């Protein structure tokens, strides 16, 4: 589920944390952290090298960048936030950083993203793309689908 984005449609994200301009996210993540919940967020797919997207830029979020799960053939990605001409990887290899993955001093870890596969029950593999997985999307503990707006999520009352 993608919840974030860039603060500005023109310039790349700033390095460091975005706690001040994203005080609401910071406060929410503080509460989640106090409850023992690890907040994990994708670093962004704009090809930026000096900053990452909101909410990954919040200091208490674990920011995750994208790598290839396995070697794949040459691949090109269209226009990105920091790469107006797009980007391509001529020889993508396992654990190679995808050209579109945002990075900065706030990036914490890298994880398989593009073309990632997971073992399937009974053998074989499934794509880990959310649209291809059976069942509902993963939901953070303490959240539920909104009854008034099915595409929104809300905190579950305690």
Same domain, 71 and 149: no
Question: For residues 88-120, b (16+ Cβ closer than 10 Å) or e, as one string?
Answer: ebeebeeebbbbbbbbbebbeebebbbbbeeee
Same domain, 146 and 98: no
Number of H helices, E strands in the chain: 1, 9
Same domain, 66 and 127: no
The pLDDT, as a whole number, for residue 158 is 44
Same domain, 79 and 106: yes
The two tokens of residue 88 are 């391509």
Overall domain count for the chain: 2
Residue 51 DSSP class = -
Structural domain of residue 155, as residue ranges? 116-158
**Candidate ranges 6-10, 24-28, 73-77; pick with highest mean pLDDT:** 24-28
- Mean pLDDT to the nearest integer, 129-149: 46
Same domain, 18 and 95: yes
Handedness of CA 37, 104, 59, 79 (dihedral sign): negative
Instruction: Give the SS3 label for residue 58.
Output: coil
Place of tokens 């008034």: 148
User: What is the rounded distance in angstroms from the CA atom of residue 89 to the CA atom of residue 76?
Assistant: 6
The two tokens of residue 98 are 């995808």
Same domain, 93 and 26: yes
Same domain, 110 and 120: no
Same domain, 55 and 6: yes
Same domain, 108 and 144: no
Q: Is the pLDDT of residue 79 over 70?
A: yes
The pLDDT, as a whole number, for residue 48 is 92
Same domain, 105 and 46: yes
Same domain, 82 and 137: no
| Strands in 90-157 per DSSP E | 109-112, 117-119, 125-127, 143-145, 153-155
- Mean pLDDT to the nearest integer, 19-44: 93
């Amino acid at each position: 589920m993608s919840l974030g984005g860039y603060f500005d449609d023109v310039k790349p994200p700033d390095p460091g944390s975005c706690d001040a301009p994203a005080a609401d996210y910071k406060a929410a993540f503080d509460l989640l952290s106090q409850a023992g919940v690890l907040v994990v967020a994708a670093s962004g797919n704009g090809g930026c090298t000096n900053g990452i997207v909101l909410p990954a830029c919040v200091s208490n979020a674990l920011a995750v960048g994208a790598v290839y799960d396995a070697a794949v053939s040459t691949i090109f990605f269209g226009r990105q936030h920091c790469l107006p001409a797009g980007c391509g990887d001529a020889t993508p290899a396992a654990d190679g950083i995808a050209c579109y993955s945002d990075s900065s001093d706030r990036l914490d870890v890298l994880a398989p993203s593009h073309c990632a596969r997971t073992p399937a029950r009974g053998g074989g593999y499934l794509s880990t793309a959310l649209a291809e997985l059976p069942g509902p999307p993963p939901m953070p503990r303490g959240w539920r689908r909104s009854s008034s707006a099915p595409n929104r999520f809300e905190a579950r009352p305690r």
